[in-house]
Amino acid sequence: MEYTIQKLANLAEVSTRTLRYYDEIGILKPARINSSGYRIYGQKQIDILQQIMFYRDLGVQLEKIKGILNEPDFDAVKALMGHREKLLAKRERMDILIANVNKTLDEKEGRAKMSDKEKFEGFKKRMMEC
């Protein structure tokens, strides 16, 4: 299926300005430009945009993403597996922090006691050194 810039922007929930910028910096070029001058995106571009969004969600800068995607030996399956691992680790950290907040609420409302050590579960040293 092919999409105009507006339809792809709506599908991916990004702005058309973002897609134009990605085109400008060479990270996501349209498949073609039609006779009316509209950018047209195909399946390959949709897959690339998804990868860009995965990397952006992990905090990777656009220049770094561009380098990764342009590597001759870039493996999309391997990249997706890496994304999944990072997301699972992020979810695990979030689950621990949510449990900590719940325990803290229980303590504040008099339903439970927390040790001083429990109050800091889920926090990593590097999180505090920012």
Q: Please provide the size of the chain in residues.
A: 130
pLDDT at 130: 47
pLDDT at 74: 86
CB-based contacts of 19: which residues, under 8 Å, 6+ apart? 5, 8, 9, 28, 39, 49
Asked whether the CA dihedral 50, 52, 55, 59 is positive or negative, the reply is: negative
Query: Structural domain boundaries of the chain?
Result: 3-70, 76-125
Q: What is the pLDDT of residues 54-95, one digit of tens each?
A: 999 888 999 999 999 988 898 888 988 998 998 899 899 899
pTM exceeds 0.75 for this model: no
Helices (H), the chain: 5-12, 16-25, 43-57, 62-69, 76-108, 125-128
Q: What is the pLDDT of residues 8-41, one digit of tens each?
A: 999 999 999 999 999 999 999 999 999 999 999 9
Q: Which CATH architecture has domain 3-70?
A: Orthogonal Bundle (1.10)
Asked whether the CA dihedral 106, 121, 126, 89 is positive or negative, the reply is: negative
CB-based contacts of 22: which residues, under 8 Å, 6+ apart? 28, 49, 52, 62
